[in-house]
């Protein structure tokens, strides 16, 4: 049952028609931003970050590693997401000092890139 649930969950993230997964990712970014500015709760930060990494890791895993097993695809997607966040964060530091606003913009830019890349690869198939 668990092995059947994983592909269904992955398919619901990758193949949604109304950018629902992207909107949930953006909501997680908003939750991270609000948590950094006011709540500063480790639990809220952990849950929002987990949602952000899962959705965008699935997007990147599906775009670049579609022939791999689902778990490996997710792990490679998350690794690629971490590398992409590091690169965009480095670029933001070089251009301007990385504070909470710029950190949020980095998350937003990477989530948008992941979503658009997923759409492009999905339309190729």
Residue 117: phi, psi to the nearest 5?
A: -65, -40
- Indicate the SS3 state at residue 97: coil
Query: Is a pLDDT exceeding 90 seen at residue 50?
Result: yes
pLDDT reported for residue 12: 84
Q: What is the pLDDT of residues 66-104, one digit of tens each?
A: 899 999 999 999 999 999 999 998 988 888 887 888 889
pLDDT-based confidence at residue 124 (cuts at 50, 70, 90)? confident
- Arithmetic mean of pLDDT over the chain: 89
Give the Cα separation of 33 and 103 in Å (integer): 9
pLDDT of residue 1: 44
> What percent of the chain has pLDDT above 70?
94
Q: Is the pLDDT of residue 38 over 60?
A: yes
> What is the per-residue DSSP string for 4-29?
HHHHHHHHHHHT-SS-HHHHHHHHHH
d(CA 39, CA 110): 24
Task: Return d(Cα 42, Cα 116) in angstroms, integer.
Answer: 30
pTM for this prediction: 0.89
């Amino acid at each position: 049952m668990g092995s059947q649930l994983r592909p269904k969950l992955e398919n619901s993230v990758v193949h949604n028609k109304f950018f629902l997964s992207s909107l949930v990712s953006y909501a997680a970014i908003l939750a991270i931003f609000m948590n950094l500015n006011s709540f500063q709760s480790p639990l809220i930060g952990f849950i929002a970050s987990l949602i952000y990494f899962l959705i965008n890791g699935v997007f990147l895993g599906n775009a670049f590693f579609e022939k791999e097993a689902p778990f490996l695809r997710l792990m490679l997607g998350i690794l690629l997401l971490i590398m992409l966040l590091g690169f965009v964060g480095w670029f933001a530091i070089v251009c301007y000092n990385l504070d909470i606003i710029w950190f949020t913009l980095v998350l937003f830019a990477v989530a948008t890139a992941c979503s658009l890349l997923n759409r492009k690869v999905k339309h190729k198939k």
